[in-house]
């Protein structure tokens, strides 16, 4: 297919595709003349992955390039490729510097991971953006005096483990590694508002059951 058709099928403007080509995010097409190239389904899949990273995930170009480099690294297993893609996504605010509450938060998080036997999370530890984000959140809760011990966090972690199964089940509906990486990025970003909405709706339901007015005889 020519560039115009690639743009039409992908939904990405030709100017944006040319930019991705210049930045090395999409491989060059197969040159047919000095000024024209042909593209195939490989380019279409790669373009969708780039769009998921850059447009949906708001990943900087340099980070997106790292993800794509990992995708092409035959020495990495599929788990490492997925992890690289998700780690590249922007995360919440991180610590501005160590203090007593952060050290306490780190001990709490480490105790939780030990209790859950989450081996990968313990292995990567502070290298993981999600770990650092959790430590920052627990540190804030600690400073404000809200419950945030390992026992308080455990129900959320167990719910998260169930969500991870659902996430990977969705991702495995896609066949190629490129499509699974695209889905991992897009679904991580797009499902987070779904999770937040469902949590708040569930809170409203539980509050109604606990504290709402009941009809006589109920």
Could you read off the pLDDT of 161-173 as tens digits, one per residue? 999 999 999 999 9
Could you read off the pLDDT of 60-85 as tens digits, one per residue? 898 888 878 877 777 878 888 888 87
Report the pLDDT value the prediction gives residue 179, as an integer from 0 to 100.
82
Read off the tokens for 129. Answer: 């953006």
Q: Domain 1-88+175-218 carries which CATH code?
A: 1.10.1660.10
pTM for the whole thing? 0.76
3-class DSSP state for residue 31? strand
3-class DSSP state for residue 146? coil
Read off the tokens for 75. Answer: 């020495």
Query: Alpha carbon of 24 to those of 69, 138, 218: distances in Å?
Result: 10, 39, 66
For the chain, which residues make up each domain, given as ranges?
1-88+175-218, 91-173
Read off the tokens for 136. Answer: 């920052």
Q: Smallest Cα–Cα separation from 25: which of 57, 48, 2, 58?
A: 48
- Torsion sign, CA atoms 179, 184, 185, 187: positive
């Amino acid at each position: 297919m020519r560039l115009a058709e690639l743009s039409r099928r992908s939904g990405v403007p030709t100017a944006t595709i040319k930019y991705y080509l210049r930045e090395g995010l999409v491989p060059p097409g197969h040159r047919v003349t000095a000024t024209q190239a042909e593209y195939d389904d490989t380019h279409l899949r790669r373009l969708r992955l780039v769009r998921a990273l850059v447009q949906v995930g708001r990943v900087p170009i340099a980070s997106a390039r790292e993800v794509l480099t990992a995708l092409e690294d035959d020495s990495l297993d599929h788990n490492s490729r997925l992890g690289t893609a998700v780690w590249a996504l922007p995360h919440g605010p991180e610590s501005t510097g160590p203090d007593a509450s952060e050290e306490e938060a780190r001990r709490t998080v480490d105790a939780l991971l030990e209790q859950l036997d989450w081996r990968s999370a313990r292995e990567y530890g502070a290298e993981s953006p999600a770990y650092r984000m959790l430590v920052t959140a627990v540190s804030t809760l600690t400073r404000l005096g809200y419950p945030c011990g390992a026992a308080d966090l455990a129900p959320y972690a167990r719910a998260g483990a169930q969500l991870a199964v659902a996430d990977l089940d969705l991702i495995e509906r896609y066949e190629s590694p490129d499509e699974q990486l695209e889905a991992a990025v897009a679904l991580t970003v797009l499902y987070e508002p779904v999770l937040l909405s469902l949590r708040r709706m569930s809170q409203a339901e539980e509050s109604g059951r606990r504290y709402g007015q009941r009809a006589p005889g109920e």
